[in-house]
A and B are shown apart, each in its own frame.
Chain A
């Protein structure tokens, strides 16, 4: 079975600085998707970025980028120029590409990010 591990329960960063959140996963599959979701205090789940395992190029979305290391099964999220609105819980998630109609996500436990002014 697949697992997702986020080893940092809490992180903090100064406003305008850069922070990296770590995520590792375990799978025997070769094709899958990886996601980072953000959950602010409002508790809405927001998709931040996603990566297809077959793509070597790291995904980027404005200030958010990932470092995808397939051999190491690592999928870290880098937030550049951190803003106060980035303060939230960040969840890493895995989804098999072979699941057919069962496309459920495997979730990490989350990292709580604080942004200090």
Chain B
């Protein structure tokens, strides 16, 4: 149980392109989803927290117009990197959590490369 699917696993695209990453909870209702960015050999950096049906809460320093997050249902959240540039290249991971004291369960991550 507690499976989170993240898609795509790898994206390579040109500078200026917008890229959408999907995060789905397959066997539970995810009231809260989290989006992280991870640089090589570093810890996870939380970008934003999204609760189903409400606006995402962004961490300090994260541009909300650059990283658009939508959490329209209890099983799906999307992260759109708008007008991506090479400095946006990174590993992005989502996680999902249901109500109560349930832990976060992670997707497999998306490696984004902007040329």
Q: Number of contact residues on B: which range applies?
A: 20 to 34
Q: Given the complex of chains A and B, what is the CA–CA distance between A62 and B100 in angstroms? A: 25
- Would you call B105 and A47 a contact (CB within 8 A)? yes
Interface residues as binary, A8-45 with B (CB distance below 8 Å gives 1, 0 otherwise): 00000000000000000000000001010100001111
- Would you call B104 and A105 a contact (CB within 8 A)? yes
**For residue A43, which residues in chain B have a CB less than 8 angstroms away from its CB?**
38, 91, 93, 108-109
Q: Given the complex of chains A and B, what is the CA–CA distance between A112 and B43 in angstroms? A: 11
**For residue B31, which residues in chain A have a CB less than 8 angstroms away from its CB?**
101
- Would you call B105 and A107 a contact (CB within 8 A)? no
B103 an interface residue at 8 Å Cβ cutoff?
yes
**For residue A52, which residues in chain B have a CB less than 8 angstroms away from its CB?**
101
**For residue A103, which residues in chain B have a CB less than 8 angstroms away from its CB?**
32, 97, 104
Chain B contacts to A: CB under 8 angstroms: 31-32, 34, 38, 41-44, 46, 49, 51, 57, 91, 93, 95, 97, 101, 103-106, 108-109
Chain A contacts to B: CB under 8 angstroms: 33, 35, 37, 42-47, 50, 52, 91, 97, 101-105, 107-110, 112
Sample (22) of A-B pairs whose CB atoms are under 8 Å apart: A33-B101, A33-B103, A43-B38, A43-B91, A44-B106, A44-B109, A45-B106, A45-B109, A47-B103, A47-B104, A50-B103, A91-B43, A101-B32, A102-B49, A102-B57, A103-B32, A104-B49, A105-B44, A105-B46, A107-B43, A107-B44, A110-B43
